[in-house]
Amino acid sequence: MLSLGAKVVIIADQFEQNLPLGEYGYIIAYDRNADNVFDYVVRVPAANRNFLVPDEDVELEEVLLQEEADRIEREALIDYALATFNEELFNRIVKGEEMPEEQDNAASESQTTEDFIRQVNLKAWI
């Protein structure tokens, strides 16, 4: 349940009541009548009206902005993977494949101090 005064966007009009789709509004009241399908009373300043809307017809502005940011980020990563011919990154993004865990991390954790110093000295010498 959304809080009073929450800024919402009207995303659907399932009961075809000519809601202004895509417009911002503010929740000004709950409709607690059990016989009614509407959940909220939303004030839409652009239309200068109040509308009774069900829960499915409105979404918080923050949620919509986060979904849009995630979509743009995913598209940018796909474009980058295609531009750099990075097949592994492309498959991970598009198909949802997980990257294999590197075994170097597990090996370095179980490494003794002397082995670590030996590796650092070897790399420094090279």
For 85-94, b/e burial (b = at least 16 CB within 10 A) is eeeebbeebe
Q: Is the pLDDT reported for residue 35 higher than 90? A: no
Residue 12: strand, helix, or coil: coil
Angle at CA of residue 44, ends 42 and 47, nearest 5°: 140
Residues 59-96 pLDDT 10s:
999 999 999 999 999 999 999 989 998 888 888 888 87
Provide the CATH number for the domain formed by 7-61 in this structure: 2.30.30.40
Contact 6, 16 (CB under 8 A): no
This prediction has a pTM of 0.63
